[in-house]
Amino acid sequence: MADSTGSVVTIVSEERTPESSLFDHVERVTHARGERFAVLLNLSKLSPHHRRPHHIRIAARTFDSLLNTRDVQLYVLGNGDIALMCKDIPVDDVDYMIDKLRMLFRNDPLAARTRSGDVEFTSWYDFESEFDIFFELTQARAEAANKIAAQSEDASAGRGIGAGFAGQPLDPYSLAKIDDSLLRLPIGELMREQPAVIVGADGTEDILFQEQFVSISDLQRRLAPGFNLVSNPWLFQHLTETIDKRVLAAMARAGLGDDSGPISVNLNVKSVLSKDFQRFDDALTQHSGKIVIEMQQIDVFSDVENFTLARNWLRDRGYRVLLDGLNPLALQYFNPGLLDADFYKVAWGTEFVEAETTEIHTETGALVEKVGPERFILGRTDSEEAMSWALTLGVRRFQGFFIDQVVERKAEKMLQARLDGRA
């Protein structure tokens, strides 16, 4: 991997791991503990979203001025943690820099949560009293790191298909090849569906629509093993345009049964304005009332003017329009109501609840109220907690793994009831 955490500020060319360099340093000062202390910044405990290589790189840079003027050494460890070895320097000076760093990560629960307690974001070791603890800790880390370094060589042979979206970053040439193979691939095999539901006052849920989508992880496995299709947002966006073409053609061919329930389809604004969509529209026009078109925030913002045109036109033809790709953070920064969509899908994540102040929650609630709670759908609902968060905002429409289970259980129950009835 070209840009893994290990390659950040640490010295890759050296055979040694940063962990063992740190341990060397600790060993060296065994007999000169006076006026020394160490701070461990537990950046590995940040949410994955906040500990990508560039975050760690910049976190390390925050300490530049200390490194230049004081007797401080910095180690970036393989897991993203940063260790500072300090000598003859007021604790407050270090603390000041850490506060700045914490500000940088204030949207992360780790930094937000432990504002006063400060137990998780950093760990401090005064060498006068806690040297032994730090010694053992760094020793253990060094050993573990050496083991991993030795192991990854053997494992690499079979790595190929990364879990989730691991893999080599996508480049234009590989994208071109994937584009080509996409044109030959029967896209139907990669189409999946996931229900969005509306929860009634009595707690029962009805299907709002079934989202039809191409599984990107399957696509990656089939067409580009070893590559990470979402590594670059712009190349990925381009890929979705190719996917749109195939999906539109496939759906136009397959049509929609008269007894089919409402569905949703993900499209780029450009695709909605294309000839491919015209053909789709020709084939499915009598079903347009059951079709929701989902468009991504990033795409819509890149060309609001054409989005407006597409939205008006779609609506005129009877389709409904959904703005996808929002998150609670986005809601703090702009009013999606200005885009006048029929639905807004907000993706949920624990980090938002944990970092959310009551003030922000109230603000979000007011915005939802203003735009209309009936227009909001909570996406990525993966737990009961997610659902209750949204319910407090008046949101009653949901989609996500948790909903999948609920819907499945309900279907099973109905099936069982029918079987029982027959028995």
Partner 1 sequence: MALSPEDETYQPASQESLLLDYVHRLESHMEGRRAVHVHLSELASDNRRDHHIRIASSTFEPLVKLLEGQLFALKNSDLFFIYKGDSQNDVETSILKLQFLFGDDPLFEGESGDTHSESNAFRTYYDVERNYADILQLVRGLVMDAQESETGGEEAVEAKTEFVVREERGEALTPRVLGRVEDALQRADLSNMVRRQFVCALIGEAAPQPLFSELFISIQDLRETLMPGVNLTRSRWLFQHLTETLDRRVLAMLSKSTDRSITGEISVNLNISTLLSPEFMAFDDAVIAAMRGSIVIELQKVDIFADLNDYMFARDFAKERGYRICIDGLTHETLAFVDREKLGADMVKMIWNSDIIDNVGAKRAKRLIKLAGASKVIFCRCDEEAAVDFGQEIGVNMFQGRYIENLIAEESRRRDMEMARRRTQNLDLLEEGDGE
Residues that bind partner 1 (CB under 8 A): 49-50, 54-55, 57-58, 61-62, 100, 103-105, 107, 171-173, 175-176, 179, 232-235, 237-238, 241, 270, 273-275, 278, 281, 297-298, 301-306, 308-309, 312-313, 316, 327, 329-330, 332-335, 338
Comparing CB distances to partner 1, the nearer of 29 and 230 is 230
Least Å from the CB of residue 257 to partner 1 = 22
Neighbours of 287 (CB within 10 A): 17
Question: Tokens for 5?
Answer: 């955490």
CB of 408 to partner 1, least distance (A): 32
Asked whether 68 and 45 are in contact (CB, 8 A), the reply is: no
- CB nearer partner 1, residue 141 or residue 311: 311
CA nearest to 220, candidates 265, 252, 253, 185: 185
Choose between 78 and 328: whose C-beta lies nearer to partner 1: 328
Q: Given the complex with partner 1, which of 195 and 328 has the nearer CB atom?
A: 328
d(CA 324, CA 293): 10
Nearest distance from C-beta of residue 223 to partner 1, angstroms: 14
Min dist. Cβ of residue 49 to partner 1 (A) = 6
Phi/psi of residue 343, each to 5°? -135, 150
The nearest distance, CB 26 to partner 1, in angstroms, is 28
Minimal distance, residue 172 CB to partner 1, in Å: 4
Residue 125 bridge partners (DSSP): 38
Measured from the CB of residue 254, what is the shortest distance to partner 1 in angstroms? 22
For residue 45, what are the CA distances in angstroms to 289, 295, 299, 378?
46, 33, 32, 26
CB of 58 to partner 1, least distance (A): 5
Nearest CB to partner 1, comparing residues 137 and 295: 295
Whose Cβ is closer to partner 1: residue 104's or residue 353's?
A: 104
132 in Cβ contact with 141 (< 8 Å): no
Pick 54 or 115: Cβ nearer partner 1: 54
CA dist 77 and 55 (Å) reads: 14
> Given the complex with partner 1, which of 323 and 390 has the nearer CB atom?
323
Minimum gap (Å) between residue 107 Cβ and partner 1: 6
Q: Give the shortest CB-274-to-partner 1 separation in angstroms.
A: 7
C-beta closer to partner 1: residue 112 or 407: 112
Give the nearer residue to partner 1 in terms of CB position, either 57 or 70.
57
